[in-house]
Amino acid sequence: MLIPLILSGGSGTRLWPVSRKNLPKQFLELAGKGTLFQQTVARTQQLPHVAAPIVVASEDHRFLAADQLLEAGIEDAAIVLEPLARNTAPAIALGALQALQRDAEAVLLVLPADHLIGDTAAFVEAVQQALPLAAQGWLVTFGIRPDRPETGFGYIRRAEAIDGHGFRVEQFVEKPDLATAESYLADGGYDWNSGMFLFKASRYLEELAAHAPAMLAAVREAHAKASIDLDFVRIDHDAFALVPDKSIDYAVMEKTQRAAVIPVSCAWSDIGSWSALWLTGDKDADGNLREGDTMPVDTRNSLLRSHERHLLATVGVDDLIVVTTPDATLVAHRDAAQDVKKIVEQLKAAGRSEHSLHRVVYRPWGSYDSLEEGQRFQVKRIVVKPGASLSLQKHHHRAEHWIVVSGTAEVTCDDKVFLLSENQSTYIPLGSRHRLRNPGKLPLELIEVQSGSYLGEDDIVRYDDVYGRA
């Protein structure tokens, strides 16, 4: 059984301000149709005899992953929730243990959820070439044939050929400086380390037992204590906290004697920075990659990305990254794109929310957009998906006014349950138990006006929640 294992725990800090902790890059539409996560899942469906995927995701992103799988037509995936980040080696071990519950001979195709592949046919061919090696017990990685001296990737040095298409791995090499990267390109025996793998689940666990036994024991304990929550496999927090933080390269691939590489040219990118996205995109005659309402004048070789209803104009600039969102704007030189993460670090240190939250915040029931905020008031635009419901709750410090813009709202307020249609409104007094539900088949949109002494999202007492939130 060939089982895709989609690793979806990344935070994508180098693509701030579009990618943020609560909505990272894998769940965004950055290039082509669908999000990077959905594109990754769709590629696996091109493989013959492929099983439903296993997704290892952050607990914070569980509903994003579930919703996007459903949008992609995948209804039988297993979603394993990491209670905290512990790097790729433990995440893959969780996926391997989960896969062995389906099939003792399961073969895992390990794919990061946030990569872009332009040539799916070449990718599928490479996977099929790797399958015989995996059957022989090799741990196969996919090396991307380099087309430039890249300093942002690790490299793989190929050794002798094995089984027609693959090579034994001689060495994994850290990210080089420019001169070294140029020598690798000239040598012709090096490939970029893609972070994609193919191997039998049992073989990976054997190698982990040999090279990182403490890690494997801790992961087994955490997985054994997992609980089923709705459609999710929730890994035990306390047990997983004891798992060492280590990548698969350090834990296994650099130590095993059975590492193989399949070289492939498939228009691959890890979309690791805005510069990487600029490289992959379709540009105008002046070399500009443009998204949204943009107006470049005397502007060349730049990435310009504007959010909806916002004109982004540039004059007399070259080699810039300019990205706007409703609550933040980034201006950077393309050569400094890797340093965008430093802004995220400073936002965290300053206690600001822009590193983790967008103005539009997504919830399992829909989303809300904070339109205006002042002393003792806040205005939000709330969208509730058809059939979805917010929790039965109350607030200690604020009252709320709801005005329906479109759709139908079912409102619970203490002992009353009633319907509101377009242009109708209601008042939710401070301290009242209330719930908002969309009983219709179209999205419910309403404007919420909050007023009170404290308007934080933590002023909430939940009595009943279909999504299992506390």
- Could you read off the pLDDT of 153-176 as tens digits, one per residue? 999 999 999 988 899 999 999 999
Confidence (pLDDT) at 163: 81
pLDDT of residue 229: 82
Half-sphere exposure of 207 (CA within 13 A, CB side): 26
What does the DSSP assignment read for 30-50?
Answer: -SSSS-HHHHHHHHHTTSTTB
Instruction: Note the pTM of the prediction, 2 decimals.
Output: 0.89
User: Of the segments 2-16, 351-365, 394-408, which one has the largest average pLDDT value?
Assistant: 394-408
Assigned token pair, 441: 């088949």
Span 251-302, pLDDT tens digits: 999 999 999 999 999 999 999 999 999 999 999 999 999 999 999 999 999 9
pLDDT tens digits for 111-149? 999 999 999 999 999 999 999 999 999 999 999 999 999
Residue 2 has pLDDT above 70, yes or no: yes
CA 130 from chain centre, in angstroms, equals: 26
Instruction: Lowest mean pLDDT of 136-140, 149-153, 185-189, name the range.
Output: 149-153
pLDDT tens for residues 384-419?
A: 999 999 999 999 999 999 999 999 999 999 999 999
Supply the mean pLDDT for the chain. Answer: 94
Amino acid 361: pLDDT: 86
**Residue 303: pLDDT band with limits 50, 70, 90:** very high
Average of pLDDT values for 234-248?
95
Residue 201 pLDDT > 90: yes
Q: What is the pLDDT of residue 81?
A: 95
Largest distance between two CA atoms of the chain = 76
Which residue in 73, 75, 64 sits closest to 20, CA to CA?
Answer: 64
- Beta carbons of 426 and 402 less than 8 angstroms apart: yes
What pLDDT is attached to residue 470? 67
* Cα three-residue angle 213-217-219, rounded to 5 degrees: 115
pLDDT band at 458; cut points 50, 70, 90 = confident
